[in-house]
């Protein structure tokens, strides 16, 4: 038998923009509508039955066209995009829909942008809650009022201020490739993002938010939400938890089929698929019935999608948050489920052995999200695994650093850095980029890499001599001093010269080192092609070793030329290249190496 299940809804947004407050507010709508069935608390989720939505919606139901078939809405209780990326189902996101919450007074913030990028990537439909409208100057607060009712009561200035803030948000969405509009002005929900202004704190606009999300789910996800109720269950692990008296349990969101007490389940573990028999299916007792915290759960015989449930079973110690749970009712099912889970784990975990970075994350889902992003940036990965950053990770990065200094680094998403790992990393110069915003972690890495590359280039530039060809003026008047040091007037014919550069004659003989360069009355650090300057040369005597009118060349070493050609090529201009060719001609008379240039 097929039925339409509740859509699974996740709440995303920047820190402090009100995700938790909004979820709490949705949970509390319970109190107001107990007769209508009330809200059911699941493990890790909250279910708003459709009757509650209808009751809250009241006259707003006219927004809804056609018969309401949806049984309700299932909100995942853990807010945040980390939760979203971690909760996977069939390669996509576990959430069918999302609410992106934005503090309308603060506008777009880093995690807002990250959330949008993620929603885009997983192609998850979402609506926008523009929160904290009660903070607008002069806003009149009426708890739990629908937005449109509340808005009419505001004076013009407050209304105008909200409009301005909404326009800013709409503009930002436009920059990210979305057409957005206030929900009551949206013509086509498949093309435009709906923005619902709300106050999570005072419950304003929550009615529209619920109606809209339910409407969208039914209208655009009906096919996706149709499930074979009786079929074996599929789900995703939200959390692995120790419970007193129960041992290690897993909190699971079931998104397909029915899970029965006597089912065998196959669960994703760190390196394997765990096959185990369910001992108990547990759901939370209603809050007012919990007298003893040791007995917080009720046992149930079965649970149909979509639902949040706690599973007690032996052997769950190695279970991994974010990985799949598949129910099996025959040997054949077990084998199939094992294969499916193993291939998922393998696909995400990388152990390539090649030169690349180390990636760690808290769950399989977030590991996949971070790895994908790195691969898109052409950053090769040597190892991607779930868990905190350990000493072994640092040692592995160290071995990579010897091969490629920019890849001997560690990325961590939502993980801790163990103390001993931190110590070695600091001592041996292994950078660790950790955080809970993927693009921020990558941005930090890119900034570090750029700074390193620039520092290295500066060092290379300081170490390397550039090619130069000069000519002494023919006139004796430009010999200012004959020796110790010799001071002569010259012109730079090609390339450049700097103090400290050794000079040689056309036959390759070293004549001395440039001590200083003077232009008019100033000492300068560099003279380039066309410059006429006086230089002091330590070593030669004018008239014996060098002569007016003679050409001299910068005496480059093999190392100089290798660095110039390989690493500093972009720093050479045409005249440098001509100078280099001239110098090679001089040098190859004695050293065949130069003939290969
Ligand atoms: N005035 C006002 N304050 C709000 C509203 N919604 C949330 N807040 C306040 O904003 C702060 C952050 O709200 P949370 O719900 O904790 O935000 P969050 O997004 O869940 O934050 P994290 O869980 O830390 O990511 C709290 O002090 C809330 O009371 C609102 O609609 N109006």
131 C-alpha to center of ligand 1: Å? 9
Residue-range domain boundaries for the chain:
2-226, 229-329, 358-462, 468-595
Q: What is the mean pLDDT of residues 258-269?
A: 93
Looking at residue 31, what is its pLDDT? 47
Centre of ligand 1 to C-alpha 437, Å, is 19
Q: What is the mean pLDDT of residues 254-277?
A: 92
* Interval 409-448: pLDDT, tens: 999 999 999 999 999 999 999 999 999 888 889 999 999 9
Asked if residue 547 belongs to a known ligand binding site, the reply is no
Ligand 1 mutation target, pool 10, 13, 14, 20, most atoms within 8 A of CB: 20
549 is in an annotated binding site: no
Closest atom of ligand 1 relative to the 101 alpha carbon: 19
> In this structure, what are the phi and psi dihedrals at residue 120, rounded to the nearest 5 degrees?
-65, -50
- Name residues contacting ligand 1 (CB within 6 A): 13, 15-21, 79-80, 131-132, 134-135, 199-201
Query: Which atom of ligand 1 is closest in space to residue 23's alpha carbon?
Result: 15
Q: Which of 200-209, 239-248, 342-351, 353-362 has the lowest mean pLDDT?
A: 342-351
79 is in an annotated binding site: yes
Ligand 1 center–CA 21 separation, angstroms: 5
Residue 526 backbone dihedrals phi, psi, to 5 degrees? -160, 140
The per-residue pLDDT for 68 is 74
Pair type for strands 302-304 and 350-351: unpaired
The percentage of the chain sitting over the pLDDT mark of 90, rounded to a whole number, equals 65
Percentage helix, strand, coil, to 5, in the chain?
Answer: 35, 30, 35
Give distance in angstroms: CA of 99 to centre of ligand 1. 15
The number of C-alpha atoms within 13 Å of 265 and in the hemisphere containing its C-beta is: 35
User: To the nearest 10°, the Cα dihedral for 217, 219, 225, 228?
Assistant: 150
Q: Point out the ligand 1 atom lying closest to the alpha carbon of residue 131.
A: 31
Q: How far is the CA of 163 from the centre of ligand 1 (A)?
A: 21
Q: What are phi and psi of 405, to 5 degrees?
A: -65, -25
- What lies within 8 Å, CB to CB, of 470 at 6+ separation is 490, 491, 492, 493, 497, 503, 535, 551, 552, 553
Residue 61 pLDDT exceeds 50: yes
Count of C-beta atoms within a 10 Å radius of residue 264 = 19
Give CA–CA dist 349/214, Å, rounded. Answer: 36
Q: What is the per-residue pLDDT across 448-485, written as a single tens digit (0 to 9) for each?
A: 999 999 999 999 888 899 999 999 999 999 999 999 99
* pLDDT, position 36: 45
Residue nearest to atom 14 of ligand 1 (CA): 18
Phi and psi torsions of 360, nearest 5°: -125, 145
Check the annotation: does 137 bind a ligand. Answer: no
Which ligand 1 atom lies nearest to the CA of residue 198? 31
Give catalytic status of residue 81 as yes or no: yes
The answer to whether 412 touches 383, Cβ cutoff 8 Å, is no
132-180 tens-digit pLDDT: 999 999 999 999 999 999 999 999 999 999 999 999 999 999 999 999 9
Dihedral angle computed from the Cα positions of residues 412, 106, 45 and 99, in that order, rounded to the nearest 10 degrees:
-100
**Three-state DSSP class for residue 162:** helix
Nearest CA to ligand 1 atom 11: 16
Instruction: Give me the torsion for CA of 110, 116, 120, 123, rounded to 10°.
Output: 140
Cβ atoms within 10 A of the Cβ of 262, count? 9
Same fold, 2-226 and 358-462: yes
Q: Which of 21, 25, 24 is nearest to 13 (CA)?
A: 21
pTM for this model (two decimals): 0.75
pLDDT of residue 37: 56
Whether residue 133 is annotated as binding a ligand: the answer is yes
Q: What CA–CA distances, in Å, run from 426 to 121, 409, 431, 452, 508? A: 35, 12, 8, 16, 48
- Judge whether residue 311 has pLDDT over 90: yes
The tokens 């949806």 sit on which residue? 70
Is 17 annotated as belonging to a binding site? yes
Q: Give the distance (Å) from ligand 1 centre to CA of residue 320.
A: 30
Tens of pLDDT along 81-108?
A: 777 777 776 667 889 999 999 999 999 9
The dihedrals phi and psi of 36, each to the nearest 5 degrees, come to -75, 10
The 10s digit of each residue's pLDDT in 560-581 is 999 999 888 888 999 999 999 9
- As assigned by CATH, the class of the 2-226 domain is alpha beta
Q: Give the C-alpha distances (Å, rounded to integers) separating 584 from 58, 465, 493, 526, 555.
A: 88, 14, 16, 22, 10
Lowest mean pLDDT among 36-45, 175-184, 548-557: 36-45
Q: What is the pLDDT of residue 32?
A: 47
Give me the torsion for CA of 324, 267, 346, 374, rounded to 10°.
40
**Ligand 1 atom closest to 22 (CA):** 15
Q: Is the ipTM of this complex over 0.90?
A: yes
What's the chain's average pLDDT?
A: 90
Question: Where do we find the tokens 């192609």?
Answer: 123
Distances (CA, A) of 31 to 472, 521, 527: 97, 88, 83
| Per-residue DSSP letter, 294 | T
Task: Tell which CATH architecture fits domain 358-462.
Answer: 3-Layer(aba) Sandwich (3.40)
Residue nearest to atom 32 of ligand 1 (CA): 132
The pLDDT of residue 29 is 67
Tell me the Ramachandran region of residue 205: left when phi exceeds 0, alpha when psi lies from -120 to 50, beta otherwise. left
Please name the fold of domain 468-595.
Elongation Factor Tu (Ef-tu); domain 3 (2.40.30)
The CA-based dihedral angle spanning residues 168, 172, 178, 179, taken in that order and rounded to the nearest 10 degrees? 20
Paired residues of 514 in beta bridges? 537
Q: How many CB atoms lie within 10 A of CB 68?
A: 14
Q: Is 101 helix (H, G, I), strand (E, B) or coil?
A: strand
187 exposed, middle or buried (CB, 10 Å; 0-12, 13-18, 19+)? exposed
CATH architecture assigned to 229-329: Beta Barrel (2.40)
CA gap 578, 584 in Å, rounded: 10
Number of helical (H) and strand (E) elements in the chain, helices listed first: 14, 36
Contact 254, 233 (CB under 8 A): yes
């Amino acid at each position: 038998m097929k039925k339409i299940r509740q859509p699974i809804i996740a709440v995303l947004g920047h820190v402090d923009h009100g995700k938790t407050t909004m979820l709490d507010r949705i949970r509390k709508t319970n109190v107001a509508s107990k007769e209508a069935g009330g809200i059911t608390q699941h493990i890790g989720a909250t279910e708003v039955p459709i009757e509650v939505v209808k009751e809250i919606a009241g006259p707003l139901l006219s927004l809804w066209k056609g018969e309401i078939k949806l049984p309700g809405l299932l909100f995942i209780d853990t807010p945040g995009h980390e939760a979203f990326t971690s909760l996977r189902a069939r390669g996509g996101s576990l959430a069918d829909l999302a609410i992106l919450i934005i503090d309308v007074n603060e506008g777009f913030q880093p995690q807002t942008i990250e959330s949008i990028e993620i929603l885009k990537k997983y192609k998850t439909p979402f609506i926008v809650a523009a929160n904290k409208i009660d903070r607008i100057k002069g806003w009149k607060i009426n708890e739990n009022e629908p937005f449109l009712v509340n808005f009419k009561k505001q004076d013009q200035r407050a209304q105008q201020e909200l409009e301005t803030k909404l326009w800013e948000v709409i503009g930002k969405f436009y920059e990210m490739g979305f057409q957005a509009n206030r929900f009551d002005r949206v013509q086509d929900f498949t093309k435009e993002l709906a923005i619902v202004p709300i106050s999570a704190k005072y419950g304003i606009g929550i009615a529209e938010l619920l109606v809209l999300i339910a409407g969208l789910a039914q209208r655009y996800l009906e096919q996706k939400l149709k499930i074979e109720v009786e079929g074996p269950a599929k789900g995703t692990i939200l959390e692995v938890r120790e419970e007193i008296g129960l041992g290690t349990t897993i909190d699971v969101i079931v998104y397909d089929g029915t899970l029965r007490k006597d089912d065998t389940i196959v669960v994703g573990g760190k390196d394997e698929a765990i096959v185990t028999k369910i001992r108990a299916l547990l759901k939370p007792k209603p809050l007012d019935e919990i007298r003893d915290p040791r007995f917080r759960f009720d046992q149930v015989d079965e649970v149909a999608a979509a639902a949040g449930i706690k599973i007690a079973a032996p052997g769950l110690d190695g279970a991994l948050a974010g990985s799949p749970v598949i129910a099996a009712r025959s040997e054949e099912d077990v084998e199939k489920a094992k294969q499916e889970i193993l291939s998922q784990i393998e696909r995400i975990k990388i152990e390539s052995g090649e030169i690349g970075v180390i990636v760690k994350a808290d769950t399989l889902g977030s590991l996949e999200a971070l790895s994908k992003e790195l691969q898109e940036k052409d950053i090769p990965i040597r190892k991607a695994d779930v868990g905190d950053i350990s000493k072994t990770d640092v040692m592995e990065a160290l071995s990579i650093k010897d091969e490629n200094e920019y890849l001997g680094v560690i990325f961590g998403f939502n993980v801790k850095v163990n103390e001993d790992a931190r110590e070695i990393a600091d001592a041996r110069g292994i950078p660790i980029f950790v955080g809970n915003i993927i693009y921020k972690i990558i941005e930090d890495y890119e900034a570090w890499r750029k700074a390193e590359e620039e520092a290295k280039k500066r060092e290379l530039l300081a170490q390397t001599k550039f090619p130069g060809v000069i000519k002494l003026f023919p006139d004796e008047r430009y010999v200012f001093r004959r020796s110790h040091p010799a001071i002569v007037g010259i012109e730079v014919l090609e390339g450049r010269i700097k103090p400290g550069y050794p000079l040689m004659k056309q036959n390759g003989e070293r004549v001395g080192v440039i001590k200083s360069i003077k232009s008019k009355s100033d000492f300068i650090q560099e003279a380039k092609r066309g410059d006429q300057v006086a230089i002091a040369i330590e070593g030669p005597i004018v008239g014996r070793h060098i002569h007016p009118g003679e050409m001299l060349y910068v005496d480059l070493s093999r190392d100089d030329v290798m660095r110039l050609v390989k690493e500093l090529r972009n720093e050479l201009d045409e005249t440098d290249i001509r100078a280099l060719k001239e110098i090679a001609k001089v040098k190859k008379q004695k050293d065949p190496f130069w003939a290969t240039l």
